[in-house]
């Protein structure tokens, strides 16, 4: 192969890699959105009940020395709970921003109403 052919082949590989990277990032973004939207309050309660049941069932494992499994499940449940709390905090922040942006309009209407009285 000539040097020009190798350069052309490398450029094609770079374009293919960049395309794949863009596609992967778009899919990752979609997955994050779907994951956050999927954690509804009902699903969180069901996940809590299921993990509580599994931890309760793991009690015999603790007698045999499976305490590490129980610690792992406990740590993972805390991790998922903090992720859910972060998502809820983000939503609350967005709601506060919307409330602040609409608040000046509401104060203007109440000042005109009080002036009329």
Longest dimension (CA), the chain: 89
- Residue with tokens 């998922």, as numbered in its chain: 80
Confidence of residue 23 (pLDDT cuts 50, 70, 90): very high
CB atoms within 10 A of CB 101: 9
- Residue range 88-112, pLDDT digits in tens: 778 888 788 777 777 665 555 555 5
Rounded Cα distance between 80 and 101, Å, is 32
pLDDT, average across residues 23-35? 93
Q: Check residue 41 and give its pLDDT.
A: 86
pTM over 0.75: no
């Amino acid at each position: 192969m000539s040097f020009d052919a190798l350069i052309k082949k490398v450029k094609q590989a770079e374009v293919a890699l960049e395309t794949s990277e863009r596609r992967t990032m778009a899919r990752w973004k979609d997955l994050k959105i779907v994951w956050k939207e999927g954690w509804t309050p009902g699903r969180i309660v069901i996940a809590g009940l299921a993990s509580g049941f599994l931890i309760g069932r793991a009690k015999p494992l603790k007698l045999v020395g499976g305490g590490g499994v129980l610690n792992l499940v406990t740590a993972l449940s805390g991790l998922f709970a903090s992720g859910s709390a972060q998502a809820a905090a983000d939503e609350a922040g967005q709601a506060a921003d919307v409330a602040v942006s609409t608040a000046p309009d509401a104060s203007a209407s109440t000042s005109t109403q009080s002036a009329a009285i």
